[in-house]
Amino acid sequence: MKVALFFLLINIFSIVGVFAEEHQAYDLLITQDKLVAVQVVLLIILVVIVTFLIRQEKQIKSLEDRIK
Amino acid sequence: MTYEKFTTQIWWKAITIVLLFYTCIYGFIVKVPDLPILEQSIRNLFFHVPMWFAMMLLMMINLFFSIKYLSSNSQRNDVIAEKSALIGLLFGFLGLATGSVWAKVTWGAWWVFAEVKLNATAAAVLVYCAYFILRSSFSDSEMKAKFSGVYSIFAFVMFMVFINIIPRVSGSSLHPGNGGNPGFNSYDLDNNLRKVFYPAVIAWIGLGLWLSSLLVRIQFVKRKLDSID
């Protein structure tokens, strides 16, 4: 079951790749004048990740202090 | 300094955040060498290569704590080994994804089957997928830790063979610096790439360590609540 799921995931990964080639976002990623757009997307992702990590850090710290 | 003490400290997490933002902001502003075909995609160097470095370091941690588990039988070492491998694998997939995008731009295909390094890295990632399949096949936690501890030694050796030795021995890789191709350093005359590349390596490694350490700490709290430790 887990192996089947793994191969399914790999297939989905390749399908997304094929669709992306047809999509406008693909041009956005590779053309020189759209670097800012890629940067903004990356920065948004980064802000979300960092916010999530800081919140997790605080929650775990309070849990660790409680069970000490 | 122990792993557990290091992972609760704040200073390196602050450095990681600063360097991540530096990579994503300055990495898109910095002047890059004007190379045909590569053009602006050369900026992927700040993402693709550090992903593999982060994976390598996390797999080294996996190896170290697996050996430590085998010599001490402490389940805590197994938890650290497992979570490091999990995040290492995530970085492996990110390395493959960023590499695939780069391959499409420069080589014209998402996956070049004749490229030794691509296939070898995919095999290396599969070796660690097998590590988790192996772990999930045991219900007894001690057996799980013992078998996966031994397997992780084999996995790390295979990982190194796949990503470092086979591509160099084959001599037919399309990757820069491999198969007789010039590396980026020969074009990076004003060292501009290095100004972002080295901080990016530290940043992505830091992010990997942070993610894995959070998973480890969650597991430790859970074990304490379940009165296992």
- Which residues of A fall within a CB distance of 8 Å from B129? 6
Asked, for residue B134, whether it belongs to a domain, the answer is yes
pLDDT digits (tens, 9 = 90+) for B127-136: 999 999 999 9
pLDDT of B185 higher than 80: no
Asked, for residue B103, whether it belongs to a domain, the answer is yes
Give the C-alpha separation, A22 to A14, whole Å. 13
Q: Cβ separation of B24 and A64 shorter than 8 Å?
A: no
Asked, for residue B26, whether it belongs to a domain, the answer is no
Can you tell me the ipTM of this complex?
Answer: 0.83
Question: What value does the CA radius of gyration of chain A take, rounded to a whole number of Å?
Answer: 19
User: By three-state DSSP, how is residue A23 classified?
Assistant: coil
Asked, for residue B175, whether it belongs to a domain, the answer is yes
Asked, for residue B5, whether it belongs to a domain, the answer is no
Q: Cβ separation of A63 and B221 shorter than 8 Å?
A: yes
Among A29, A53, A61, the residue with its CB nearest the CB of B101 is: A29
DSSP structural state of residue A42: H
Angle at B203 between CA B122 and CA B194, to 5 degrees: 90
Taking the domains of chain A in order of start, what are their residue ranges? 1-30, 35-68
The arithmetic mean of pLDDT across residues B65-72, rounded, is: 95
pLDDT digits (tens, 9 = 90+) for A22-57: 555 555 455 555 677 888 888 999 999 999 999 999
- Which residues of A fall within a CB distance of 8 Å from B221? 60, 63-64, 67
pLDDT digits (tens, 9 = 90+) for B208-218: 999 999 999 99
Structure tokens at B59: 């797999």
Among A13, A21, A56, the residue with its CB nearest the CB of B214 is: A56
Asked, for residue B29, whether it belongs to a domain, the answer is no
Q: Cβ separation of B25 and A35 shorter than 8 Å?
A: no
Q: What count of residues does chain A have?
A: 68
Band the pLDDT of B114: cuts 50, 70, 90. Answer: confident
Q: Cβ separation of A67 and B39 shorter than 8 Å?
A: no
Q: Is A12 on the interface with B (CB under 8 A)?
A: no
Which residue intervals of A23-34 are DSSP H helices?
24-30
Q: For the range A27-35, what are the long-range contacts, defined as Cβ-Cβ under 8 Å and sequence gap of 24 or more?
A: A29/B101, A30/B40, A30/B41, A30/B105, A31/B40, A32/B39, A32/B40, A35/B28, A35/B40, A35/B43
Q: What pLDDT shows up at residue A7?
A: 52
Asked, for residue B4, whether it belongs to a domain, the answer is no
Q: Which helix H or strand E contains A46, and what residues bound it?
A: helix A35-67
Domain that holds residue B131: 43-225
Asked, for residue B16, whether it belongs to a domain, the answer is no
Query: Number of folded domains in chain B?
Result: 1
Could you tell me which of B215, B147, B192, B167 has the C-alpha nearest to residue B52? B167
Q: What pLDDT shows up at residue A22?
A: 55
DSSP output for chain B: --HHHHHH-SHHHHHHHHHHHHHHHHTTTS-----TTTGGGGGGHHHHHHHHHHHHHHHHHHHHHHHHHHHH--HHHHHHHHHHHHHHHHHHHHHHHHHHHHHHHHTSSS--TT-HHHHHHHHHHHHHHHHHHHHHT--SHHHHHHHHHHHHHHHHHHHHIIIIIHHHHH----STTSTTPPPGGGT-TT-HHHHHHHHHHHHHHHHHHHHHHHHHHHHHHHHHHTT--
The size of the A-B interface in CB pairs under 8 A is 57
